[in-house]
Chains A and B, each alone.
Chain A
Amino acid sequence: MAVLGSSGQRSRSDRHPSRVRSAAVRRGVLAVLVVAALALLTISFRSPNSGVLHTVQGYGASALRPFQIAAERVARPFRDAYGYVDGLATAKSQNAKLRSEVQRWRAVANANLAAARQAEELKALLRYEEGPTYPKDYRTVNASVISFPSGPFAQQLTISAGSHAGIRLNTPVVSAGALVGHVTLVGPSTSQVTLLSDPDSAVPARDLGTGVSGVIRHGPRNTLFLDRVGKEQVVRKGDVIVTQGTVDRRYPDYFPYGIPIGQVTGVGTSDIASYLTVQVAPFAQLGSLDAVGALIANRPAPNLP
């Protein structure tokens, strides 16, 4: 019959030497690994964008990239199947919603045609000095998304292009013509993109309809809002929000003018608030990005103060 322990107290010298050695080795291994992790963390935290460790990490990420791409390709049919089934489930309600949206957009498109014609005339008349425009001063580097936000805190993803492709820190990143975020970490062939939905993200933006300026920030539950819009300003539901671009040549902006960000879904205010609460629905599907484009400036990167 097995007996777990006995009433007699075992002295320390009775313990089997191999077990004592085993415990020491075990604790030693743990201590070494924890110290190594803490050392890596300290170095990584102190110099996030430079140094040997950053370079090694960049090359490590490049080495892992083929495996990530392979895994993503293997999983793609399953994802597509899930998306198809999920799409069928929501198709009916979406259909009615999209029909009404098509009607609204058709009206907007007609209005835009007239506005575009008018804008051409106004530009010619006022010799409007345009800022940097996308096709003129920027080229696109297309990249696939190889890792996605890895938790409720993370709003960064990794893309399969880095400094070798010309990507630099703060390079704007778009998807299907809409702003997604900007580059916050660059490796040789991979880069980290911080999404608009990151709480630290702030993008100068303007209302295309009324010209009101503000800053696009992260709102609750992965929404965006246009911050710093005074109560006296006019912002309407349905207005399109685009990047502000450079306003003052002394303080150039990394984001060129006119990249669509999203559409105003609600405008509110309160007695105690200094600014309007302008909710914006992003055009880009920030939660399901497969491929993005990095906008590389043909001119030197601006130096922010």
Chain B
Amino acid sequence: MTVVDGLKAAALIFVAAILQVAVLTQIDVFGGAPDVLLVTLVAVALLRGTIMGAAGGFFGGLLVDTATLGKLGLSSLVLTIAGYWIGRYGETTGRDRAHAPFLSVAVVTILYSFGLLAVDFVLGERAPAGAMLRALLPSIALNLILTAPVYALVRRLLRPLEREDLATEVQLLG
């Protein structure tokens, strides 16, 4: 990982966050909306690992909360954990698997929705589980549609690392 990689990832996350708050939140398909920030974060985390995933999640969440004048730290908290978790998956079992981005996006969309719901609930904010559940399936479908082009774009900008460069605790022998 280099400084250039970090800058590229930051630029990608920035553009995705701006697109998300300015454009994609207006889309409503059966109650769901695509989340290009989440999909971009998944792609960055899969290609660059845990640290970039967590940092990207924090940065992206901060941008969204700032742009929408929302509660600062709310999106950052959930996206940081999501980025770290997907980065870990990318460094270990998800490495070189063609289905990894799709599986990750589907799972993270679910966990992100439940994560936001849980944090809202803990903070005593409004947390309507019914509305979230109704929007979940369309959101997963829309995010999966975005996955292939977004992952291809991110992969073009952030070339996959060599195995030695990835932090891992699962050692491959032979």
CB pair A33–B72 under 8 Å, yes or no, is: no
Question: Which of B54-62, B103-111, B141-149, B150-158 lies at the interface?
Answer: B54-62
Which residues of A lie under 8 Å from residue B18 when comparing CB positions? 64, 67-68, 71
Per the bound structure, the CA–CA distance linking A146 and B62 in Å amounts to: 17
Residue of B nearest to A28 (CB): B51
Most chain B CB neighbours (cut-off 10 Å) among A69, A71, A190: A71
B19 within 8 A of A: yes
Q: How many residues of B contact A (CB 8 A)?
A: 55
Q: Which of A2, A23, A147, A153 lies in contact with B174, CB distance below 8 A?
A: A2
Question: Which of B39-47, B94-102, B125-133 lies at the interface?
Answer: B125-133
Bitwise, A136-150 to B at CB < 8 A (1) or not (0) is 000000000011111
CB pair A153–B67 under 8 Å, yes or no, is: no
Which residues of A lie under 8 Å from residue B23 when comparing CB positions? 71-72, 75, 79
Which residues of A lie under 8 Å from residue B31 when comparing CB positions? 152
Within 8 A of B (CB), among A17-62: 19, 22-23, 25-26, 29-30, 33-34, 36-45, 48, 53, 57-58, 60-61
Q: How far is the CB of A202 from chain B (nearest CB, A)?
A: 14
Question: Which of A3-11, A102-110, A172-180, A294-302 lies at the interface?
Answer: A3-11
Q: How far is the CB of A31 from chain B (nearest CB, A)?
A: 10
CB pair B167–A26 under 8 Å, yes or no, is: yes
Q: Which of B26, B69, B123, B169 lies in contact with A187, CB distance below 8 A?
A: B69
CB pair B71–A147 under 8 Å, yes or no, is: no
- Known contacts A38-B77, A40-B72, A185-B69; is A71 also within 8 Å of B167 by CB? no
Which residues of A lie under 8 Å from residue B67 when comparing CB positions? 60-61, 64, 68, 146-147, 158
CB pair B71–A64 under 8 Å, yes or no, is: no
- Known contacts A71-B19, A148-B25, A152-B134; is A4 also within 8 Å of B173 by CB? yes
8 smallest beta-carbon distances between A and B, as pairs: A40-B73, A41-B73, A2-B174, A37-B77, A152-B131, A71-B22, A60-B66, A68-B22
Q: Which of A25, A39, A148 lies in contact with B26, CB distance below 8 A?
A: A148
Residue of B nearest to A60 (CB): B66
B86 within 8 A of A: no
B64 within 8 A of A: yes
Q: How far is the CB of A36 from chain B (nearest CB, A)?
A: 7
Per the bound structure, the CA–CA distance linking A221 and B169 in Å amounts to: 49
Which residues of A lie under 8 Å from residue B55 when comparing CB positions? 29, 33
Q: Which of B66, B80, B126, B131 lies in contact with A57, CB distance below 8 A?
A: B66
Chain A residues in the interface with B (C-beta under 8 A): 1-6, 16, 19, 22-23, 25-26, 29-30, 33-34, 36-45, 48, 53, 57-58, 60-61, 64, 67-69, 71-72, 75, 79, 146-154, 156, 158, 185, 187, 190-192, 199-200, 287-288
- Known contacts A38-B77, A153-B120, A153-B126; is A147 also within 8 Å of B66 by CB? no
A-B contact pairs, 8 of them (CB 8 A): A19-B169, A19-B171, A30-B54, A61-B69, A153-B120, A153-B126, A153-B127, A153-B128
Most chain B CB neighbours (cut-off 10 Å) among A16, A33, A43, A67: A33
Per the bound structure, the CA–CA distance linking A71 and B51 in Å amounts to: 29
Q: Which of A25, A29, A44, A150 lies in contact with B21, CB distance below 8 A?
A: A150
Within 8 A of A (CB), among B80-94: 80-81, 84
Which residues of A lie under 8 Å from residue B116 when comparing CB positions? 151, 153
CB pair A33–B54 under 8 Å, yes or no, is: yes
Q: Which of A2, A33, A69 lies in contact with B173, CB distance below 8 A?
A: A2
CB pair A43–B173 under 8 Å, yes or no, is: no
Per the bound structure, the CA–CA distance linking A68 and B16 in Å amounts to: 11
Q: How far is the CB of B56 from chain A (nearest CB, A)?
A: 10
Most chain B CB neighbours (cut-off 10 Å) among A16, A64, A72, A287: A64
